[in-house]
Amino acid sequence: MPKVNSEDQILSLLDAEFPRRHPGLILGRGDDCAEFFSASPLAVSSDLFLEHIHFRRSYFTAEEVGYKALAVNLSDLAAAGAYPSGFSLNLICPPALDSAWLAAMFKGMAALARECDLPLVGGDISAGASLGLCITVWGGSRAGVSGPEAPGAFLRRGAQEGDVLFLLGPQNPWDACSLGLAALGLEVLEKYGRAAIKDYPEACAALLSPKPMLSAGQAMSSLLLEPGWAGRPAPLKAMDLSDGLRRDLPRLLGGFQQQLAAGAVFAPENCRTAASLGAGLTFTVENLHPELTAYHAGLEQKALGMALSGGDEYALLCACAPEKMDFLRKTLAERGGAPALQILGLVTEREGIRWQGIRLADILPGTGFDHFEV
């Protein structure tokens, strides 16, 4: 098969899959800058997707690499309740790469972009030793909310004691909690390659082609405009669960501090510090996905450890005022694409995270996934 030998060749492959014109664009790819319409505040996110760090071509197909590179960015927009409107792609491409493989990668990315009516507006290309993608995606803010409070209306901050903690992910036949499923997919694909798909189809799919929960995020953002949601600061909180529950849950509980440090401005009544908040997790091993429990048959602590610390979930980790949960369920059923809502526990005033009353530190060492921890 012919190898990649020029930037123009790559640009031609892109043009075959991604139209240059879109109703949201004033000026698309091909100039120094793209120009697009924006009538509201924008949510913006960017992620790297690097060979040997985030994926291996030995068990990812080309289409799956392209699809997932875009999906992980869209998951961040889902956590903001945003409506995607465009993305850019920076590509590091090994010169020895098959041009047919690269074309298939763009095809997988373009399929998800078409599903979201999302134009590719530009980016950059460079040669390099291994394949790498950096995507930046943006979208309109929460259901048309505008004004100085809009950017803080639906973020990972403002948890209150008694809030219900839950996970929003794709439906599965067992109505099982998806925690740890992608981590299982990674483990079995590393061990057995794509042969693992036969015995662990949902775990492998969770890793290879995660479904960004855009409809669910948008449905939740629309609730912030409902009159019945007035009277309580930040009744809904959400974040993209990508680094594992053990690492990401403290970020949800401590969101005020992180955002204040970044320069965010909130109304005074929304500025309670969350330093002392904790969580009581109530799900059990029996609630976990059957592929996960079957893999760790007879080793409940290993299954629990994978569920608590496994990353690459790309579900939405959420907290909601308890009196709003029934209304939330109804709205998600009507407008959220029927996601699976899995209760994890409650926000507590008692500092620290506990599972079934046991401190997480006593169940598992460490703090969860970090690229720089050996």
Confidence of residue 202 (pLDDT cuts 50, 70, 90): very high
Residue 195: its pLDDT value, please?
A: 98
Residues 215 and 358 in one domain: yes
Confidence of residue 15 (pLDDT cuts 50, 70, 90): confident
Number of domains in the chain: 2
Chain segment 115-160, per-residue pLDDT in tens: 999 999 999 999 999 999 999 999 986 544 444 444 445 667 778 8
Residues 187 and 304 in one domain: yes
Domain holding 125, by residue range, is: 7-140
Residues 180 and 195 in one domain: yes
Chain segment 242-268, per-residue pLDDT in tens: 999 988 998 888 755 554 544 444 444
Residue 148: its pLDDT value, please?
A: 41
CATH number at residue 167: 3.90.650.10
Distance CA 212, CA 81 (A): 11
Of 117, 140, 163, which residue is a domain's last?
Answer: 140
Per-residue pLDDT averaged across 157-165, rounded? 86
Chain segment 325-361, per-residue pLDDT in tens: 998 999 899 887 789 999 999 999 888 899 999 988 8
Residues 42 and 156 in one domain: no
Choose among 213, 188, 215: nearest CA to 202. 188
Percent of the chain past pLDDT 70, that is, above it, reads: 84
Q: Which of 4-8, 95-99, 150-154, 367-371 is predicted with the least confidence, judged by mean pLDDT? A: 150-154
Distance CA 102, CA 114 (A): 18
Distance CA 27, CA 162 (A): 49
Of 140, 155, 179, which residue is a domain's last?
Answer: 140
- Tell me the two tokens of residue 278: 């904790």
CATH number at residue 72: 3.30.1330.10
Greater pLDDT, 183 or 237: 183
Residues 210 and 127 in one domain: no
CA distances from 261 to 255, 256, 257, 264, 352 (A): 10, 8, 6, 7, 21
List all residues 6 or more positions away from 7 whose beta carbon is below 8 Å from its beta carbon: 125
CA distances from 331 to 166, 216, 220, 253, 324 (A): 15, 9, 8, 24, 11
Which segments within the chain are labelled E, that is strand?
25-27, 35-36, 42-50, 83-93, 120-127, 132-140, 164-169, 236-241, 278-281, 315-320, 340-348, 352-355, 358-359
* Among 56-70, 165-179, 215-229, 253-267, the range of highest mean pLDDT: 56-70
Greater pLDDT, 33 or 165: 165
Residues 132 and 173 in one domain: no
Residue 263: its pLDDT value, please?
A: 45
Of 140, 162, 197, which residue is a domain's last?
Answer: 140
Residue 24: its pLDDT value, please?
A: 79
Q: Please, what is the average pLDDT of the chain?
A: 85
The answer to the question of residue 281 being in a domain is yes
DSSP states of 39-104: SS-EEEEEEEEEBTTTB-TTTS-HHHHHHHHHHHHHHHHHHTT-EEEEEEEEEEE-TTSBHHHHHH
pTM confidence score = 0.88
Percent of the chain past pLDDT 90, that is, above it, reads: 56
Contact (CB, 8 A) for 328 and 216: no
Residue 88: its pLDDT value, please?
A: 96
Distance CA 154, CA 129 (A): 40
Distance CA 240, CA 242 (A): 6
